[in-house]
Amino acid sequence: MVKGLYTAYTGMINEQHRMDVLTNNLANANTNGYKKEGATAQSFRDQLALKIKDYSDAPNTARGLGIINPGVKIGEGYVDWSEGPMKETQNTFDFAISGYGFFGVEYTNKAVNIERDVAGETNIMYTRDGAFTLNAEGELVTHDGDFVLNAGGSHIQLDPNLPTIVNTLGDIIQDGQVVDRIGVFDFEKVTYPDGRVAYNNLEHYGENFFIPVDAEAGVAENYSIAPGFLEQSNVSVVDEMVNMIAVQRNYDTNQRMILAIDDTLEIAVTQLGRLQ
C-alpha cells in the first residue's frame, strides 16, 4: 500500500517534467529555427521485463524479481530535428536552410549566467535561425550582434553600399563578383529505421542555438539556402495543447490515487485496531 504512494508520487514528478518541456515548446512556437523537445519515461527496471519473459524455471510459480523500484523514472530528453515551415520575408539578409546543416555563429556571452558564467566569453555555436543583418562595419551579424561565419570559419565582410545577391549555395555576390560564402556546417547524424534523424552530439543552448559536444563541425552536403526566407519553429501549437491536457489529466489521476491511499491508511491506523 505504501508503495502505491511512491508510485503515484513518481508519476506526478514525471508529468510535471513533461509539462515543463511542453510549456517551453509553446513559449518558442514563434522562435525562428527552434526545434521542439520531448521527454521519455522509464517504468520498472529491465530486470523485471526480462524476468517476466524468462520461462527457464517452473511456470505459474512465485519468482523473485530482485530489487524493484516502484513507479516511473524520468528518462532522457530528445530533440525533434524535423524541418520547420518556411516563411517568406523578402529581406536580403534572411536565409533558410533546406536540408541538413546549421549556420555557424561566433557567440559572445552578454552577461553572467549559469551556463556561461564569464561575460564576454566567445564560443562557436550553431543555429537554424538565419535572421541576419549588416552592422556599421559591413559585417554579417545576428540581431544580437554576434558574427556569422563563412565556410572557412571567419567573419563575413561586405560592402554595405553595394546590392547583395545570395544564391542557393550561399555564395554572396556583389558587383558581379562572389565575395564570400555563408558557412553551412553539419555533424554526424544517427538515422533510425523509421527515417528519423538525430544529432546525438549537439546540446541545446538558449532558444535556438546548439553546442557540439565532443564533435567537430564538417561542411554540410545536400543542402540549399533560400534567400529571403526564414525557417519557423517546428512546434505544432495544437499538438502541444492536446499533450498538455493529457499530462494534466495524468497528474490529477496520480493525485487522486495518493488521496485514496491516504484515506485507506487512515482507516487502517485509526479503525481496524480499535477494540469494540
Query: Each residue of 195-214: pLDDT tens digit?
Result: 888 998 999 888 899 999 98
Does residue 276 fall inside a structural domain? no
- By the 8 A CB rule, do 77 and 37 touch? yes
Does residue 204 fall inside a structural domain? yes
Longest dimension (CA), the chain: 102
Does residue 210 fall inside a structural domain? yes
Which long-range contacts link 23-27 to residues 24+ away (Cβ below 8 Å)? 23/244, 25/235, 25/240, 26/235, 26/237, 26/240, 26/241, 26/244
Continuous H helices in 28-119: 46-52
Question: Do 90 and 214 lie in a common domain?
Answer: yes
pLDDT exceeds 80 at position 258: yes
> Between 145 and 271, whose confidence is greater?
145
Does residue 33 fall inside a structural domain? yes
The pLDDT tens digits for 42-79 are: 765 544 554 555 555 555 544 555 555 567 777 778 89
Q: Which domain holds residue 190?
A: 86-231
Distance separating alpha carbons of residues 55 and 51, to the nearest angstrom = 8
The structure's pTM equals 0.81
Question: Do 124 and 223 lie in a common domain?
Answer: yes
Does residue 250 fall inside a structural domain? yes
Distance separating alpha carbons of residues 246 and 176, to the nearest angstrom = 57
Question: Do 96 and 185 lie in a common domain?
Answer: yes
274 CB-near residues (< 8 Å, 6+ apart): none
What is the structure's pLDDT at 6?
80
- By the 8 A CB rule, do 128 and 31 touch? no
Mean model confidence pLDDT for the chain? 85
> Between 274 and 36, whose confidence is greater?
36
SS3 97: strand
Question: Do 240 and 259 lie in a common domain?
Answer: yes
SS3 62: coil
What is the structure's pLDDT at 271?
78
User: What stretch of H or E contains 226?
Assistant: strand 223-227
Question: Do 45 and 9 lie in a common domain?
Answer: yes
What is the structure's pLDDT at 62?
44
Question: Do 256 and 216 lie in a common domain?
Answer: no
C-alpha angle 134-135-138 in degrees, rounded to nearest 5: 70
Bridge partners of 107?
123
What is the structure's pLDDT at 191?
87
Question: Do 116 and 226 lie in a common domain?
Answer: yes
Question: Do 216 and 94 lie in a common domain?
Answer: yes
Question: Do 71 and 185 lie in a common domain?
Answer: no
Residue whose entry in the numeric block shows the C-alpha cell 564560443: 123
Question: Do 114 and 154 lie in a common domain?
Answer: yes
Q: How many residues does the chain have?
A: 276
The pLDDT tens digits for 78-126 are: 899 999 999 999 999 999 999 999 999 999 887 666 555 666 788 899 9
Strand order in the sheet with 171-174: 164-166, 171-174, 177-181
Does residue 275 fall inside a structural domain? no
Does residue 37 fall inside a structural domain? yes
Looking at the structure of the chain, the number of domains it has is 2
Does residue 124 fall inside a structural domain? yes
256 CB-near residues (< 8 Å, 6+ apart): none
Question: Do 99 and 193 lie in a common domain?
Answer: yes
Q: Kindly state the cell numbers that stand for 247.
A: 499530462
Question: Do 93 and 222 lie in a common domain?
Answer: yes
